[in-house]
Amino acid sequence: MSKFVLAIDQGTTSSRAIVFDGVGLPLAVAQKELTQHYPADGWVEHDAEDIWRDVQSVMREAVAKAGLRGGDIAAIGITNQRETTVVWERATGRPIHRAIVWQDRRTAETCRQKLADGLGNHVQQKTGLLIDSYFSATKIAWLLDHVPGARARAEKGELCFGTIDSFLLFRLTGGPGKTGVHATDATNASRSMLFDIHAQDWDDTLLKVFDVPRAMLPEVKDCSGEFGITTPDILGHAIPVAGIAGDQQAALFGQACFQPGMVKSTYGTGCFALVNIGDKPVRSENRLLTTVAYRLNGETTYALEGSIFVAGAAVKWLRDGLHLVKDAAETATLAAAVPETHGVYLVPAFVGLGAPYWDPDARGALLGLTLDAGAAHIARATLESVAYQTRDLTAAMKSDGAVSPTALRVDGGMVANDWLCQFLADMLDVAVERPRVIETTALGAAYLAGLAVGVYSGLDAVAYGWHCERRFEPRMNAATRQRLYAGWQDAVSRVLGKRSG
C-alpha cells in the first residue's frame, strides 16, 4: 500500500499542496498566492474559481516535485480557511457570487440586530459561538438576499452552501455531467452558527433565525473517513478524499494536542489559540468560542478557541502598505535593533477586534508615536501586538477553567521568527515549543486522511511522531512583563473608546 498522503491547505492568502510520507514528514510543497478583493470598506472576497484552478495546479505540482504519480497517493486531506462562504449551483458547480471571506464585516449590522433581539444566549448555548459576522450564517443569508433569484433557487435545492472544503470536495469528486459530493466535516460545520454542537446536527431553530434553507446544507461527517473519490483527470488516478478539518482544528491535530489542557496557537493571517477540553463542551464566560476540535468514529472532542483576526496580516501591511520591509523576515532584525518600542503600540484592528473583545467596528491604531520613533519601533510593536493578543486569549482560557499549560505549541509561517517566539514565551511566562514541522495545519489534514486509509496507525503513532525543533523559555522579569502588558491594555481601551482613568 502507498505510504504517501497529499494535503490541500487552502488558506486566506494562498493555496498550497504538500506531500507527506508515512512518518509525517513533508516531501514536496507547491503554493500559489490568492488575490484578495475588497469591494467596500470591511468587505473581503475571494474568487472561488481562482481557488479551484490554483488547488488543481498545486496538487499536480507537489506530486510531480515529490517524484510521484497520482497512483502513489493513498489519500487526500483537505484543510481550509474556515467560515469563508461559497454558494454554488448544484448542477454545474459554478459559484453564484464571489466567496465572502471570514474577515468580511458586511453583515455586522445584521448581527447587532440579532443580539438586540435577545438571541445571543440561545445561539451560544446551541453552537458555542457568539453572534458575529465572522461566522457563515449571516454571509449565506446576505448572498441569498442580494443575488437575484438565489433564495428561491436555494429553497428548491438548486444551490449548495459550503465552506471552502465543501466546495473543493464537490469539484474534486464531480467531473463533467456528474454531481460532486456535497459534504463537510464537523469542525467546519461547527463554525457556521447553524450547527448544534451537542446534537451534532444542523439546527432547525437556528436555520429559521438566520433564514437559511436546509436544502442547501452539506452532509456533516467525521473528520477522518472516506468523503468521496476524485475524478481521474485531476491527478491521473482516482484517489479517496479521506480527511477534512478547518485549518485551526487541523493544526491542533497536527500538533498532537490530544489530551485535555494541551494548547496550540497558529500564527498565519490571523492567530488562533485552541485548548483541548475533552469530550464535554464548556460554555465560555469570557467571550471565547466553544468549538468542535475533531470528531473521530462518531466521538467528538471539543476545544475552547480564541480568534485574533490580524497577526501575519499586520506584517504584510508593513511590507505592502507602509513598505517598511521588503521581506517579512526583516521584522525580526528590526525588532532586535531596539531595546523596547519606547511606548509605541500597534492595535491591529484593521477588520475589527476578535476575542475576547468582539468589536467589528474597531479599527487599527498606532499609538505612542514620538519624533524618536522609527521603523524598528513600529516593526517591534507589530510583532509584540501578536504576543499581547495571545496573552489576552490565554488569560481568558484560564478564567474559563482551562488548566494552565506547561507549554504553548506554536505553528504557522510567523513562528519561523525566533524573536517573536521568544517574546511570546516572555509575555505568556510559559515555554513556547516550535515543532519540527511548522506547517501543522497541512500535517493535521494529512494525518486525518492517512488514519482513514491505514497510512498512520492511530493517535498514539501521531503523538509519537511529534517532535519539538526548538523550545523557547521565558526570560523576562515579572515587573517588565506586567508593565508592557498594561500599556497594551491601555492602547486597546483607547481604540475601543473606553479610555481607562
163 phi and psi angles, rounded to 5 deg: -80, 180
- The number of beta carbons lying within 10 Å of the beta carbon of residue 176 is 6
User: Residue 464, SS3?
Assistant: helix
200 phi and psi angles, rounded to 5 deg: 55, 50
What is the per-residue pLDDT for 1?
A: 62
Closest by Cα among 469, 455, 449 to 17: 449
pLDDT tens by residue, 437-488: 888 999 999 999 999 999 998 999 898 888 999 999 999 999 999 999 999 9
Residue 423 to residue 425: CA distance in whole angstroms: 5
Residue 241 to residue 79: CA distance in whole angstroms: 11
User: Residue 458, SS3?
Assistant: coil
Is 308 within 8 Å of 271 (Cβ atoms)? yes
Residue 221 to residue 224: CA distance in whole angstroms: 8
- The number of beta carbons lying within 10 Å of the beta carbon of residue 467 is 12
pTM of the entire structure?
Answer: 0.87
Residue 219 has pLDDT above 90, yes or no: yes
What is the per-residue pLDDT for 269?
A: 83
Residue 364 to residue 492: CA distance in whole angstroms: 10
Percent of the chain at pLDDT > 70 equals 98
DSSP H stretches of helix in 325-374: 330-336
The stretch 142-147 carries a mean pLDDT of 96
pLDDT tens by residue, 367-412: 999 999 999 999 999 999 999 999 999 989 988 888 778 899 999 8
pLDDT tens by residue, 41-88: 889 999 999 999 999 999 999 999 999 999 999 999 999 999 999 999
All cell numbers assigned to 194: 447553524
What is the per-residue pLDDT for 501?
A: 38
Lowest average pLDDT, out of 123-127, 268-272, 459-463, goes to 268-272
